[in-house]
Amino acid sequence: MTHIDTDRYRVKPGKKLNLSSWNPSDTGEFEGGKKEGEKLTAQLNTELEALQELLYAEAKHKILIVLQAMDTGGKDGVIRHVFEGVNPQGVKVASFKAPTPEELAHDYLWRIHKRVPGKGEIVIFNRSHYEDVLVVRVHNLAPPEVWGRRYAHIAAFEKLLADEGTTLLKFFLHIDLDEQKERLQARLDEPEKRWKFSTGDLAERKLWADYMAAYEDALSKTSTKAAPWYVVSANRKWFRNLVISQVIVDTLRGLDMHFPQPEGGLDELVIE
């Protein structure tokens, strides 16, 4: 099976990121096209199902997957396609919207820590703690001296999770303005998609440059060996799914997981 070089999409620790140099339509050295890409993703999905079952049975490792993107970037699509068929007992999705009054009464990581995975689980964050250095920054919901120190908080929080046995994978789904325009228009034009459209998306779209600057700082300052960021070219949905599937499967393969040993004497046991 063809293997995608996913390391090219990984943000190197300590390196300043410039998103304008990352092509949202890039497919790297992959020459198979959409049909071949979808075939490979399906094969990876079959392997992911088996690896996730092993992860759940062994109950030793914890996997946290963070998805961030601009509106229409494809977070829901990744969850739907990449994780199709996995055992829902061992995979959870946590979505983070505007904080509730109870959440605002605590520190900004309080609501996040409650949703991280336990042993044997994969948890997918659909948006995440990074909203507190993205939306908060772009909309001036807190002064720079407040959100500016949060990069260090987040890095320390993720180091804590990693030190306690959590494997972290963070994906920024990178689309461009033209692609977002097409996807927003599709939501307007297709009745079954119109429920996903919000006029607030248009206001956010006008702040694109501010968000790109915020993302560049967030990804540059918090991509570490233990909690890497991947900038995934996401204009082509099939390639986005392929890259993310490859990263996750490669990571799970590397955990050297084994099914628990069964009780002794089962070979002689006969069910009557």
Q: pLDDT tens digits for 132-151?
A: 999 999 999 999 999 999 99
Q: What's the pLDDT at 269?
A: 82
The pLDDT score that the predictor gives to residue 270 is 85
pLDDT the model gives residue 264:
76
The answer to whether 41 and 81 are in contact (CB under 8 A) is yes
Q: What is the dihedral of CA 181, 183, 188, 190, to 10 degrees?
A: 150
Please, what is the average pLDDT of the chain? 95
pLDDT band at 266 (very low <50, low <70, confident <90, very high): confident
List for the chain the helix, strand, coil content (%; round to 5): 50, 10, 40
pLDDT in tens, 19-78: 999 999 999 889 889 999 999 999 999 999 999 999 999 999 999 999 999 999 999 999
Domains along the sequence of the chain with CATH: 6-175+208-254 (3.40.50.300)
Q: How far apart are CA 13 and CA 234, in angstroms?
A: 22
Name which of 4-13, 166-175, 260-269 the model is least confident about: 260-269
Strand order in the sheet with 166-174: 91-95, 122-126, 62-69, 166-174, 229-233
Collapsing DSSP to helix, strand or coil, 58 comes out as helix
48, two tokens: 């992911």
What local confidence, expressed as pLDDT, does residue 86 receive? 93
Per-residue pLDDT reduced to its tens digit, 196-246: 898 989 999 999 999 999 999 999 999 999 999 999 999 999 999 999 999
pLDDT, average across residues 68-90: 95
Over 80: is that where the pLDDT of 1 sits? no
The four Cα atoms 93, 95, 96, 99 give a dihedral, to 10 degrees, of: -110
What pLDDT digit, counting tens, does each position of 187-201 carry? 999 989 899 898 989
| Whole-prediction pTM | 0.95
pLDDT at 268: 80
Whether residue 267 is predicted with pLDDT greater than 90 in this model: the reply is no
pLDDT band at 261 (very low <50, low <70, confident <90, very high): confident
